[in-house]
Amino acid sequence: MSAKKPQSKSKESKSTTPTALALKALEQIARHEKECGARWAECTVELRELKEASKAHAARWEKLAWLVVGTVLTTALAGWVTMILK
């Protein structure tokens, strides 16, 4: 059997030095921040579009509400006038 040489600890210690760990963590944080920034931009655009759609929808419902109120008032006024004239 051949004897294996023990691996030098310099490779292991290089990859686990506090500086290397900190750099690796910073890279992961930077990647995470980039992904979150992209998602936030998408959400902001979607929220803006939703706000515009809600405003347009509210305007349509407001028009319908005025139509209903006008119809009810006109009908009530016509009924009142009819009762007075009889």
Domain boundaries, the chain: 18-85
Q: How far from 30 is each of 17, 44, 53, 79, CA to CA, in Å?
A: 20, 21, 35, 72
CA dist., res. 36 & res. 48, Å (int):
18
What is the model's pTM? 0.50
Residue 86: predicted pLDDT: 80
Contact (Cβ atoms closer than 8 angstroms) between residue 46 and residue 54: no
Please give the chain's pLDDT, 86 residues, in tens: 555 555 555 554 456 899 999 999 999 999 999 999 999 999 999 999 999 999 999 999 999 999 999 999 999 999 999 999 88
Secondary structure (3-state) at 1: coil
